[in-house]
Structure 1
């Protein structure tokens, strides 16, 4: 039977992403996606073969929202990489529960591939190539995904920081002092501060 025109890949991705956003990544299945769409699980198999294909659609939707246009070349390379990294963070951070999927399937996502190609171009112009360029790109991906998950699951303003600040100061003097300082650091300051430290290191 022909597929109904209304059930597009975009609609499938939106339904699967709604499940992940609301109930967490572990809740995503053919059954839960079908329920979100108001159809039977068997009916969903006419459109996607398995959960992995659903995951790919989710990643395409998330990374497809990233602006991958190269920044102006008259801007310093670190600022251009910072801009590109901020764009990736903005898109992925809207769906923190899906971060593991972006790591698993980004190599199949056109949006993710275009982002990497743009960043690699900037790094190459900065004289970063060969194995250093490999490590640089991986470091940027690791930083974005790790920072988003830390902000989502263990924010500086959360109870974990308060618990550390309340530890015995004689046993953990530096840790407790750092936790007290953390209360004045916002999410954007935390992200950009760490990113700029990373970028300074890439230029060495």
Structure 2
């Protein structure tokens, strides 16, 4: 029997994202999603089979406006930078969703389309075979790691302040680095790390 259409996927996904934004990933359950929508848990199962399907809806909804076209930038490294910035901008309002996107990266259509575009740019830059695999994995590893770090808080957050107070005799470099970290903006942190990765990639095809 086909599922009723009274509840649109976008409305369900938006409700799930609202829960994650408010209560974190641990707060998202089939029961909490149903309560957010004002229905019974059993009724929700008419629309999604389980939490895995609900999480995938969340990923697609958060990236629903992600531009996956090849950027107009004249240099391929700038194209990659633009593509990474597009993902970051799409997640700016819903950073707690980042772990779900990482977990669903191989089945979220928006992520797959973005990855295909990245591969197009890398191929046009001269990457092929194993080098293209390594380039993609390295870039995605940085992006995912940077987004996850950002979702956990800024460089000037509580954890950094704790490290800044470590005894200088035992951790002189960590203490000094932590104290300097509070002056680095999130944008500078993201762009600085990405620039390091892009310089490494450019060296592979120079």
1:117 and 2:99 are equivalent in the alignment:
no
RMSD: 1.7
Q: Residue 55 of structure 2 aligns with which residue?
A: 55
CA contact (8 A) 1:93 1:148 kept: no
Q: Residue 182 of structure 1 aligns with which residue?
A: 181
CA contact (8 A) 1:19 1:27 kept: yes
- Answer with 135-144 or 185-194: which moved more: 135-144
Q: After superposition, give the CA deviation of every residue in 1:153-181 in whole Å (9 maximum; x if it has no partner).
A: 24211122222222222322222221222
Show the 5 A alignment for 1:13-32. 13-32=13-32
- Answer with 28-37 or 141-150: which moved more: 141-150
Distance across 2 between alignment mates of 1:106 and 1:64? 14
Corresponding residue pairs, total: 203
Q: Which blocks of at least 5 consecutive residues in structure 1 are unaligned?
A: none
Deviation at 1:44, TM superposition (A): 0.8
CA contact (8 A) 1:151 1:187 kept: yes
Q: Residue 149 of structure 2 aligns with which residue?
A: 150
Deviation at 1:127, TM superposition (A): 1.1
Distance across 1 between alignment mates of 2:2 and 2:38? 18
SS of residue matched to 1:94: coil
Q: Which runs of 4+ in 1 moved over 6 A?
A: none
TM-score (norm 1): 0.92
CA contact (8 A) 2:99 2:148 kept: no
